[in-house]
Amino acid sequence: MAVVTIVGAGVIGVSWARLFGGAGWEVRVSDPRPDLREVVARELAGLDVTATEDLAAAATGADFVQEAGPERTDVKERIFATLAAHTRDGVVLASSSSSLVPSVIAQGNPAADRIVVGHPFNPPELMPLVEVVPGPRSSAAAVDRAVEVYRELGKLPVRLRKEIPGFVGNRLQKVFNDQAAYLVQQGIIDVRDLDDLVRASLGLRWATIGPFQSGTLGGGPAGMRHLVEHVGSQLTFETGSPDPAGMGEVLDAVEAAYGTGEEAYRRLAALRDRRTRGALAPLDWPEPRTADAEGGRK
């Protein structure tokens, strides 16, 4: 049985552990938190999971490592130094980082050739995407192995050609979220209506086809070029930027709309997960890269 070491027992780490465990891997979860065993017993019941605060012991003999620790460079450098010292050559050391690039995480690390970013969207057990981001010293073999593992887990691994802070998914998300906050600040729309608008339009559209494919269809038989040269040529307005000083009011509005605390979190997470599961099967995830589905791409 293949062995995976999950570093970090927060929301992302637990979800990774559930995904790997459900796929038949032996899972080792390592985290210094004092309630580690209680978390594992509660969240990962029924799976082959071992909990330990000793990262070196958890890493020894592992076939793959998925780190999901704090988003701090100094912490990740310490974690990956331990992982490098206690894993054999060829074992991929993947970080779930949302923004830190591999070259920063791997700085001074003797196993830099084995370090990549495997950035999921939350929750990893449900969302198909994993961005696989190589650093300048990441080996092709490590990137290939990471892609292979994620694909075997039923994910859609997308390999970036080179590293960039925030990668692709979060850069797109940041631009979108900034505009959403700006529109709320300007009194154009409220929080709930904006969410409904996105769910009933762009969210639904982009769940079925991406923005470039959507543009191809939006232009009719003449394709995206026609859309850009006609409708697109009239979209000359300035989009504006949110006022950082006014973000407190936006956050107040979000909390008023959806609540905070453990009960609200579990209620919203259950709603998200139920809807996500309901959408995945009809959308054929993981999607096969066929000529019919991808316009000739295999």
DSSP 131-168: EEEE-TT--HHHHHHHHHHHHHTT-EEEE-SS--TTTT
State the residue range of the domain holding 214.
170-258
Give the span between the Cα atoms of 286 and 5, in whole angstroms.
24
Catalytic annotation, residues: 131
Give the span between the Cα atoms of 72 and 100, in whole angstroms.
8
Q: Are residues 176 and 76 in the same domain?
A: no
pLDDT at 230: 87
pLDDT at 158: 97
Q: Are residues 31 and 100 in the same domain?
A: yes
Residue 206, Cβ neighbours under 10 Å: how many?
13
Q: Among 105-109, 179-183, 290-294, where is mean pLDDT lowest? A: 290-294
pLDDT greater than 60 at residue 294: no
If you average pLDDT over each of 76-85, 214-223, 228-237, which comes out highest? 76-85
pLDDT at 284: 81
Give the span between the Cα atoms of 75 and 197, in whole angstroms.
39
Give the span between the Cα atoms of 160 and 143, in whole angstroms.
10
| Domain-embedded: residue 7 | yes
Last residue of a domain, one of 159, 179, 212: 159
86 and 56 in contact (C-beta within 8 Å)?
yes
pLDDT at 287: 62
Q: For residue 123, what is the domain's CATH number?
A: 3.40.50.720
Q: Are residues 91 and 117 in the same domain?
A: yes
pLDDT greater than 80 at residue 286: no
pLDDT at 245: 97
Q: Which residues fall within 8 angstroms of residue 163, CB to CB, at 6 or more apart?
A: 101, 102, 103, 117, 133, 134, 135, 136
| Residue 144, CA distances (Å) to 44, 141, 158, 238 in order | 29, 5, 11, 42
What's the mean pLDDT when you consider all of the chain? 94
Question: What sign has the CA pseudo-torsion 52, 47, 98, 262?
Answer: negative
Q: Are residues 155 and 181 in the same domain?
A: no
Q: For residue 196, what is the domain's CATH number?
A: 1.10.1040.10
pLDDT greater than 70 at residue 58: yes
Q: Which residues fall within 8 angstroms of residue 272, CB to CB, at 6 or more apart?
A: none
Q: Are residues 140 and 218 in the same domain?
A: no
Count of domains observed in the chain: 2
Q: Among 88-97, 231-240, 253-262, 285-294, where is mean pLDDT lowest? A: 285-294
Report, as an integer, the average pLDDT of 248-275.
96
Residue 9, Cβ neighbours under 10 Å: how many?
26
Report, as an integer, the average pLDDT of 177-186.
98
5 and 67 in contact (C-beta within 8 Å)?
no
Report, as an integer, the average pLDDT of 277-286.
85
pLDDT greater than 50 at residue 296: no
pLDDT at 157: 97
Q: How confident is the model at residue 291 (pLDDT cuts 50, 70, 90)?
A: very low
| Domain-embedded: residue 55 | yes
| Domain-embedded: residue 281 | no
Q: Among 49-53, 139-143, 226-230, where is mean pLDDT lowest? A: 226-230
How many H-runs (helices) and E-runs (strands) does the chain carry? 14, 8
Instruction: Determine the straight-line distance between the first and last CA of the chain, rounded to whole angstroms.
Output: 31
Q: Are residues 184 and 228 in the same domain?
A: yes
Question: What sign has the CA pseudo-torsion 195, 124, 94, 72?
Answer: positive
Give the span between the Cα atoms of 268 and 122, in whole angstroms.
13
What share of the chain in percent tops pLDDT 90? Answer: 89
| Domain-embedded: residue 36 | yes
